[in-house]
Amino acid sequence: MTASNIPTDLRSTTVLAARGGLNALVATVRCFVVTAAVLIAVASSPVQADQAARLERVVIETETGAHTFKAEIADTPALRERGLMFRRELAADRAMLFDWGRELVATMWMRNTYIALDMIFIASDGRVAGIAENTVPQSLETISSGVPVVAVLEVAAGTARRIGLKSGDRVTHRIFKSQ
SS3 101: strand
User: Does residue 140 carry a pLDDT above 60?
Assistant: yes
In whole angstroms, give the CA distance from residue 158 to residue 178.
27
CB 70 within 8 A of CB 93: yes
pLDDT mean across residues, the chain: 82
* Domain 46-172: assigned CATH number: 2.60.120.1140
Rounded average pLDDT over 128-148: 97
Rounded average pLDDT over 61-85: 95
Rounded average pLDDT over 134-139: 96
Give the model's pLDDT for residue 22.
58
**Sequence-separated (6 or more) residues with CB below 8 Å from residue 47:** none
Higher per-residue pLDDT: 15 or 64: 64
Strand order in the sheet with 117-122: 128-132, 117-122, 143-156, 94-108, 65-74, 54-62, 170-172
Q: How far is CA 55 from CA 72, 92, 135, 140, 177, in A?
A: 5, 15, 23, 27, 20
Rounded average pLDDT over 124-135: 97
In whole angstroms, give the CA distance from residue 1 to residue 171.
87
In whole angstroms, give the CA distance from residue 20 to residue 15.
8
**Residue of 128, 118, 179 whose CA lies nearest to 150:** 128
Give the model's pLDDT for residue 13.
43
* Helices assigned H by DSSP within 67-170: 77-82, 159-163
**pLDDT range class, residue 61, cuts 50, 70, 90:** very high
CB 100 within 8 A of CB 149: yes
In whole angstroms, give the CA distance from residue 35 to residue 27.
12
**pLDDT range class, residue 51, cuts 50, 70, 90:** very low
Q: Mind giving me the DSSP string for 102-122?
A: EEEEEEE--TT--S-EEEEEE
**pLDDT range class, residue 53, cuts 50, 70, 90:** confident
Residue ranges of domains in the chain: 3-43, 46-172
Higher per-residue pLDDT: 1 or 159: 159
